[in-house]
Amino acid sequence: MQTIGDAVEEYVDPDSVTSGNFANEDDSKRAFVEAFKATDCFNIYEEIDCWYFGGSVFGDKPTGRIDYVLAPRKRLIDAGWRMGIIGIEVKKSGHKAGPLICQMIDYSKAVFRLPDACGASMVCLSSVCCFPGITHCGYAIGSIMCQHRLGNVIVKKQRTMIQVGSTNMFSLSDRGIECRFINSGYKNGSR
């Protein structure tokens, strides 16, 4: 059983950071876009503005901007995708997990306006993930991320994945496209 002290220790764990070897955010963005364009599964919208609707009453600003919004293309929908539109926040390697997770939670409670070319549609995200993924995000932090439908994007030589909790909601490898529905994030109040 994990104690509160263990959870606090995990939150401030200096090893809980974004993975990889990306010296800066621009390097991370290039790698992300290259990997996801190659999948031919998503329309990729960059630097999308949002308005927070479920943030703290003490929040310092009503708007934000996420790095990417991914909308499924026909190829992915035909493969079984039922997870809607997702957001991606990109950081350099070694970025601390705590502030990033808080930022992703804010995005999970926001409305985003897609570009005019998409009819300026207003959308909410079904999940928010980060690239590169966060190392050491188990126990309490993993549970919090799962409840808020936050996840990690993992890009390897032979596989590209979007993962929430222990579920690969999207995976593309030499075996093809695999899609799974995630069941987390449906509870409010006491657990």
**CA-closest candidate to residue 83, choices 187, 189, 171:** 171
Distance (Å, whole) CA 178 – CA 25: 28
SS3 183: coil
Range of the domain at 27: 4-179
| 191 within some domain | no
Distance (Å, whole) CA 57 – CA 38: 41
- pTM for this entry: 0.87
| 151 within some domain | yes
- What is the average per-residue pLDDT within 46-59? 84
| 114 within some domain | yes
Residue 11 has pLDDT above 70, yes or no: no
Amino acid at 59: G
Q: What is the pLDDT of residue 9?
A: 56
Give the tens place of pLDDT for each residue, 54-113. Answer: 767 777 788 999 999 999 999 999 999 999 999 999 999 999 999 999 999 999 999 999
SS3 11: helix
Residue 188 has pLDDT above 90, yes or no: no
| 187 within some domain | no
- What is the average per-residue pLDDT within 17-44? 94
Total tally of structural domains belonging to the chain? 1
Distance (Å, whole) CA 70 – CA 127: 10
| 190 within some domain | no
| 188 within some domain | no
